[in-house]
Structure 1
Amino acid sequence: MANKIKKSQKKKSNSVKRKKKNNKKKNKFQKKHLLWIVCLLVVLVIVVSIFHVFKNLPHGVSKISSETKTNHVELLTDVTYKSGNKMHYEHEIFDKVNETINEANDFIIMDMFLFNNYKTGDKTYPNITHRLTQSLIAKKKENPNIRIIVITDPINSFYGSYTPRNIKALKANNIDVHYTDLSKLRDSNPIYSGTYRTFFQWFGNSENGKLNNPLSSEGPDVTVRGYLKILNMKANHRKTLVTEKHGMVLSSNPHDPSGYHQNVGVRVTGPIQNAIIKSEIAVANMSGAQYSASDFKINNNSWRDDATYSVQLATEGKIKEQILKNIKKSQSKDRISIGMFYLSDRDVINELIKASKRNVQIKLILDINKEAFGKEKPGVPNKPVASELVNRSKGNIKVKWALSNGEQFHSKYLLFEQHENKNAAMILGSSNLTRRNIEDYNLETDIIIKGKQDDEAFTKLSQNFNKAWDNKKYTITAQYDEFKDESLWKRVLYRIQEKTGLSSF
């Protein structure tokens, strides 16, 4: 009997040992397969990340138009400054935008990055959004046959979390509105976007958000999916308007909290309008529309060889090519005057330093980068970049800071003036001088205008810059030393953010 019990116990023991051994094998097998799955997913994310950084751009993106001539270039400026305790706002851009809309008869194509009136805090702002929305609606009511196309960035809906009031009003009046399909663009923040595209993009969005809106305290609640999309850090950053009569390229947004910002823009007439139409129809079609640029006919399609100005349209990476081309050809005693919200692109910085060593006279007015969307910023990228420009050029590059009372120095322009032949060129529009803006990631539109320094548009821009630089009548800018910051951590932060795309600039 004892032997039977021992045999039974031995069998049970062997059975337990076999089970443990089998379980170990099973667990080892499962861990091995789990590891393989994790490795495959990591590889997949890396492949997706790399592909969407280098993939082909959508049709019509990153283009430069042929050079055409015109006598009609109106430079527009929004200037903000403080005198004593009083603020002064010498703004003309959106008056001209609304005038251009009111004058249209056949079509209006408008592409604007920020187009909403949601604000943060209790500060009062100009009613830019409402006024522009009503101008478009009034024109549609006056002329039901006019074709009106509005293109904007999905940030205005927080990427599908809600529909802004002004967009609802436009759609209710049979105006075509298109949110840009940003997924078609390259990814500037691949460390995040590869993961987003692999796992999260498939979930879409819905207008039932429960989370606080990070862009506006009075904006509607937003969704988790909206937060996941904004971290891709990509945008249709363009600011254009074109009708059969005029074309406009701006640095300013029809966005109430941006209403006091300093900006520049131009209104042009002539064949350059066709380039704007073609460029914007490409963005609309990329986003699901089916328009033909040939259906939009302008009034003045001819030009004379002796016209005052030569004009070209440049978008995305072609903007950078034109900027570098103009810096490189600048010679001793030529002048480069730059007004810029963000400056961080390494190629532009290096070419400016090289130009300073050729005795090119370079002056920059930069935003201090202390605020964006109501959030405090540490002065990056402009402060470390300004330090580099001043120090590496041994003081030959001069920098001043645009003084701010809550608004931004949001202008984006470069003015090139040649010493010998008095030729001039300006490049201005939506594009900051950053990797994201001028290396084929964001959608951007700038215009290149060439002529003589005493032509009206160049005279106005030069006077506007010099008035801010000299502070003869009002104090508009501060000396570099007043706000300089040469801290190592900001230099390191800027370089990491610029290289990786883990930033808002």
Structure 2
Amino acid sequence: MGRKRKWARPRWIVLLAVLLFLFLYIGVISWHTYKPLPEGINYQGDIHWTDDVEMFTDLTFAQNKDGGGMMHENHIFDEVYKMIDEAESFIVLDFFLMDHYTDEDKDFPEIAQTLTSKLVEKKKANPDMEIIFITDPLNTGYGSYESKWFDAMEDAAIEVVYTNLDKLRDSTPIYSGLYRTIFRWAHFEKNGWITNAMASKAPKMTLYSYMILLNVKANHRKTIVTEKEALITSSNPHNASGFHGNVAMKVSGAVLNDILEAEEAVVRYTNGGTLPRAKVESPDDGEYAVQYLTEKKILEALLGDIAVAQTGDTIRMGMFFIAMPEVVESLVDAANRGVNIEMILDPNENSFGNEKSGLPNRPVLQKMMDETDGNITARWYNTVMGQYHTKLVTIRTKDEMYITNGSANLTDRTLNNYNLEANLRIIAPGDSELSKEIDDYFDRLWNNKDAMYTLDFEEYQDSFTFFQRGIYRLQELLKVTTY
């Protein structure tokens, strides 16, 4: 009996400790999954009118599906450089990924170098001009090393704001609960020693930095604003992303200050700073209605626009990732009520030279096909190099075209108030120059007018497996994904 009493107390202590930890763990998960967002995040700007909206695209394509006759058409960052040259009062940038590291033996465009040089030269020529660059701590390996590009900007008195991700909600709760209760306190290394997840040639990372990375959260926005105009895009100033397919929209007018207000929210909650404002008028009319949206407001507006489409209308999409259940369901419903749906998707086959599994697009698209009895038509982009990184959705009705474009993939992580995202929503007359340009863009890719841009749906679905679909379902259930 004495021996039983001797061991009973420690067992109860251990059990009590485990129960207390589980209680804490579940509480931490619940709080950081649903906690209030920083003020100004999940932003919905007013609808403004303007006559000035321009579309810019990047495309890499070949004459055949094996990569013969490779061609590149890059226009987006040329326009960014032009905006920097023409700015007179201020420049505000918010870009997710900016570096030059790669394991691929290719001559990528030197975007990081050129953008840095442009900004540094601009600041030296205009010392009193405010230039603020908001970015993601991914560019320093989450604190493992310095960025030569952002260091050069700071040396030139350009303000660099590394977004505080800790205040955002956790999109991978099972892991992030452990990170917040245990792993975040293990910050004891000074030098990196683990191969960088982005590229083996990049500086090594510490274990602590990898623990942060595994939370899989980001300031994923991609925009630049001056006192004259703004450009919202899906492209990053990242050399190895230089041959990705992307789309950008440039706009002017009163929407500029909405963009600055939304960007200031990130600066304010990160370091308490503010941003300048543009001196622009807000006209009562114009050819295009434009609206700046971030985070879940992008989803809400998109679902509303899809709901507008009726029998005979057309939804066209160029998308890197699609997996958000609400979007998938709304597109299925639209197809089943007679809306024509054409989707150009990335096959999720590669990422910076590394082979990928086809998730999430291949199983999601198969599901959509099954639930619409084939009423949705889809093609895969022929990704002979890079990715089809575009995030463009258009809904064409009898008289108008509803457009959304920017940083947001159609996934839970990007549209459910986890990542920071930014899109421009546009309502354009059906016969406008912009609507025609977008139609021409899709027609060119869909019909392979002058190259092998896209491949038949069956090209990748032949290898579709039950196992792949099961992995996707498990990822969806556990919220353990990178998309």
Please confirm whether the aligned pair reaches a TM-score higher than 0.5, indicating the same fold: yes
How do 1:433-448 residues align onto structure 2 when only pairs under 5 Å count? Answer: 433-448=410-425
Secondary structure of the residue that 2:370 maps to in structure 1? helix
2:378 touches 2:457 (CA, 8 Å); kept in 1?
A: yes
Secondary structure of the residue that 2:343 maps to in structure 1? strand
Secondary structure of the residue that 1:386 maps to in structure 2? helix
Following TM superposition, by how much is the alpha carbon of 1:23 offset from its aligned partner in structure 2, in angstroms? 5.8
Q: Which has the larger radius of gyration?
A: 1
Following TM superposition, by how much is the alpha carbon of 1:357 offset from its aligned partner in structure 2, in angstroms? 1.3
Cα 1:358–1:210 change in 2 (3 A) is: same
How do 1:151-300 residues align onto structure 2 when only pairs under 5 Å count? Answer: 151-204=134-187, 208-291=191-274, 293=275, 296-300=276-280
Q: Which of these residues, 312, 325, 331, is aligned with residue 346 of structure 1?
A: 325
2:292 touches 2:423 (CA, 8 Å); kept in 1?
A: yes
1:108 touches 1:241 (CA, 8 Å); kept in 2?
A: yes
Following TM superposition, by how much is the alpha carbon of 1:143 offset from its aligned partner in structure 2, in angstroms? 0.1
Q: Which of these residues, 415, 422, 428, is aligned with residue 451 of structure 1?
A: 428
Q: Find the aligned partners of 2:476 and 2:150 in 1 and give their Cα distance.
A: 33
Following TM superposition, by how much is the alpha carbon of 1:490 offset from its aligned partner in structure 2, in angstroms? 1.6
Q: Which of these residues, 91, 98, 120, is aligned with residue 81 of structure 2?
A: 98
Q: Find the aligned partners of 2:163 and 2:337 in 1 and give their Cα distance.
A: 43
Secondary structure of the residue that 1:182 maps to in structure 2? coil
Residue in 2 that maps onto 1:361: 340
Q: Find the aligned partners of 2:259 and 2:449 in 1 and give their Cα distance.
A: 38
Residue in 2 that maps onto 1:4: none
Secondary structure of the residue that 1:86 maps to in structure 2? coil
Cα 1:396–1:287 change in 2 (3 A) is: same
Secondary structure of the residue that 1:77 maps to in structure 2? strand
2:295 touches 2:421 (CA, 8 Å); kept in 1?
A: yes
Residue in 2 that maps onto 1:11: none
CA deviation string 1:407-445 (max 9, x = no partner): 1000001011113xx211100100000000101111000
Q: Which of these residues, 30, 35, 45, is aligned with residue 15 of structure 2?
A: 35
2:54 touches 2:251 (CA, 8 Å); kept in 1?
A: yes
Following TM superposition, by how much is the alpha carbon of 1:494 offset from its aligned partner in structure 2, in angstroms? 1.4
Q: Find the aligned partners of 1:24 and 1:429 in 2 and give their Cα distance.
A: 66
Q: Which amino acid aligns with 1:371?
A: N
| Correspondence 1:482 to 2:462 | no
Residue in 1 that maps onto 2:29: 49
Following TM superposition, by how much is the alpha carbon of 1:207 offset from its aligned partner in structure 2, in angstroms? 5.2
How do 1:390-405 residues align onto structure 2 when only pairs under 5 Å count? Answer: 390-405=369-384
Residue in 1 that maps onto 2:437: 460
TM norm structure 2: 0.97
Following TM superposition, by how much is the alpha carbon of 1:501 offset from its aligned partner in structure 2, in angstroms? 2.2
Cα 1:289–1:203 change in 2 (3 A) is: farther
Q: Find the aligned partners of 1:68 and 1:206 in 2 and give their Cα distance.
A: 50
Following TM superposition, by how much is the alpha carbon of 1:203 offset from its aligned partner in structure 2, in angstroms? 4.2
CA RMSD, Structure 1 to Structure 2 (Å): 1.4
2:171 touches 2:217 (CA, 8 Å); kept in 1?
A: yes
Q: Which of these residues, 325, 332, 338, is aligned with residue 304 of structure 2?
A: 325
1:162 touches 1:206 (CA, 8 Å); kept in 2?
A: no
Q: Find the aligned partners of 2:237 and 2:7 in 1 and give their Cα distance.
A: 60
CA deviation string 1:429-470 (max 9, x = no partner): 000000001011110001100121221222111111111001
Q: Find the aligned partners of 2:146 and 2:15 in 1 and give their Cα distance.
A: 43
| Correspondence 1:62 to 2:42 | yes
Q: Find the aligned partners of 1:129 and 1:289 in 2 and give their Cα distance.
A: 27
Residue in 1 that maps onto 2:290: 311
Cα 1:226–1:329 change in 2 (3 A) is: same
Overall identity of the aligned pairs, in %:
38
Q: Which of these residues, 361, 364, 375, is aligned with residue 385 of structure 1?
A: 364
Secondary structure of the residue that 1:310 maps to in structure 2? strand
Q: Which amino acid aligns with 2:315?
A: I
TM norm structure 1: 0.92
Q: Find the aligned partners of 1:440 and 1:204 in 2 and give their Cα distance.
A: 28
Following TM superposition, by how much is the alpha carbon of 1:277 offset from its aligned partner in structure 2, in angstroms? 0.3
1:345 touches 1:498 (CA, 8 Å); kept in 2?
A: no
Following TM superposition, by how much is the alpha carbon of 1:42 offset from its aligned partner in structure 2, in angstroms? 1.4
Secondary structure of the residue that 1:60 maps to in structure 2? coil
Secondary structure of the residue that 1:298 maps to in structure 2? coil
CA deviation string 1:22-67 (max 9, x = no partner): 5653332122112211211111011100111111111111111110
1:384 touches 1:486 (CA, 8 Å); kept in 2?
A: yes
| Correspondence 1:130 to 2:110 | no
Q: Find the aligned partners of 2:407 and 2:428 in 1 and give their Cα distance.
A: 21
CA deviation string 1:313-351 (max 9, x = no partner): 110001000111111111010000000000001111111
Secondary structure of the residue that 1:273 maps to in structure 2? helix
Q: Which amino acid aligns with 1:483?
A: Y
Where do 5+ consecutive residues of structure 2 fail to align?
none
Q: Which amino acid aligns with 1:356?
A: A
| Correspondence 1:77 to 2:57 | yes
Q: Find the aligned partners of 2:250 and 2:279 in 1 and give their Cα distance.
A: 15
Following TM superposition, by how much is the alpha carbon of 1:217 offset from its aligned partner in structure 2, in angstroms? 1.5
Residue in 1 that maps onto 2:482: 504
1:367 touches 1:409 (CA, 8 Å); kept in 2?
A: yes
Segment drifting more, 365-374 vs 377-386? 365-374
Q: Find the aligned partners of 2:474 and 2:118 in 1 and give their Cα distance.
A: 44
Residue in 2 that maps onto 1:425: 402
Q: Which amino acid aligns with 1:303?
A: P
Where do 5+ consecutive residues of structure 1 fail to align?
1-20
2:60 touches 2:385 (CA, 8 Å); kept in 1?
A: no
1:121 touches 1:217 (CA, 8 Å); kept in 2?
A: no
Secondary structure of the residue that 1:336 maps to in structure 2? strand
